[in-house]
């Protein structure tokens, strides 16, 4: 899927920033996710069953995430060969606005903007109208790890599991770092993630096409 070693590392770093933002967003929202929509779907179901009081925000986060995917896809298509850079600029700007919002105490708009940013981020490696690498789909990554380990045990590619494993480890390490950073900086931890996204956005033109 990603032929270049540098591109694979870049994708893992993007997953790490998603994990960082997801951890901080979870802490800001009081237990909802800004990139892990499977968890929000389950929580929305619990809310609809009367077991949780997070129906509105849960539904809002899912809607914001999908909207981010739509906008990211449209921006990427219009940018043509500059797709990755254009989408990453969109993600960086959304995260910066979210960081400004949370600094003013606007917690709900902030987490909705973060969810939109994470949705858009998943379109960085889109091609032919489809997402080729899901940067926040860790369930999918774990499935691919298991399938490719089975392939290796059956005499196939012995290292095919490495790429999805790097995405998984990237997100895990990012979430850990996000939680630690939030404990030290509070909601200002979002500025750390925004700075990291800006650096990645400026670096992306150096990657092979």
For residue range 113-148, list pLDDT tens digits in order.
999 999 999 999 887 767 778 788 888 889 999 999
Angle, CA of 31, 32 and 36, to the nearest 5°: 130
Residue 30 pLDDT exceeds 90: no
> Quick one: pLDDT band at residue 3, thresholds 50, 70, 90?
low
Cα 142 to Cα 71: distance, rounded to the nearest angstrom: 27
b (16+ CB within 10 A) / e for 173-193:
bbbebbbebbeeeebebbbbb
> E strands within the chain?
126-127, 130-131
Residue 50 pLDDT exceeds 90: no
> Quick one: pLDDT band at residue 157, thresholds 50, 70, 90?
very high
Model's pTM, two decimal places? 0.92
Q: 29 with 57: CB under 8 angstroms?
A: yes
Minimal CA–CA distance to 28: which of 98, 123, 119, 133? 98
Identify the pLDDT of residue 209: 65
* Residue 159 φ/ψ, nearest 5 degrees: -115, 15
Residue 1 pLDDT exceeds 60: no
Q: 32 with 61: CB under 8 angstroms?
A: yes
**Domains annotated on the chain, with CATH:** 5-123+132-203 (1.20.1250)
Contacts of 100 (CB under 8 A, 6+ apart): none
What 3-state class would DSSP assign to 130? strand
What mean pLDDT is predicted for residues 189-206? 96
Give percent of the chain above pLDDT 70: 97
> E strands within 101-199?
126-127, 130-131
Better-scored residue on pLDDT, 178 or 209: 178
> Quick one: pLDDT band at residue 85, thresholds 50, 70, 90?
very high
Cα 192 to Cα 188: distance, rounded to the nearest angstrom: 7
Cα 162 to Cα 5: distance, rounded to the nearest angstrom: 11
């Amino acid at each position: 899927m990603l032929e270049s070693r540098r591109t694979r590392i870049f994708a893992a770093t993007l997953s790490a920033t998603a994990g960082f933002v997801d951890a901080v967003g979870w802490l800001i929202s009081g237990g909802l996710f800004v990139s892990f929509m499977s968890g929000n779907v389950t929580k929305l179901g619990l809310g609809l069953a009367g077991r949780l009081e997070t129906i509105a925000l849960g539904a809002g986060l899912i809607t914001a995430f999908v909207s981010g995917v739509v906008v990211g896809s449209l921006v990427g298509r219009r940018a043509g060969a500059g797709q990755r850079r254009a989408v990453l600029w969109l993600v960086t700007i959304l995260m910066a606005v979210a960081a400004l919002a949370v600094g003013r105490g606007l917690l709900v708009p902030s987490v909705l903007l973060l969810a939109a940013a994470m949705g858009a981020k998943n379109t960085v490696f889109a091609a032919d109208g489809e997402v080729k690498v899901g940067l926040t789909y860790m369930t999918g990554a774990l499935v691919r790890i298991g399938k490719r380990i089975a392939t290796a045990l059956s005499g196939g590619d012995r290292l095919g599991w490495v790429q999805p494993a790097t995405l998984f480890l990237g997100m895990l390490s990012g979430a850990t770092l996000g939680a630690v950073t939030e404990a030290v900086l509070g909601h200002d931890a979002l500025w750390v993630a925004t700075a990291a996204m800006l650096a990645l956005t400026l670096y992306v033109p150096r990657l092979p096409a």
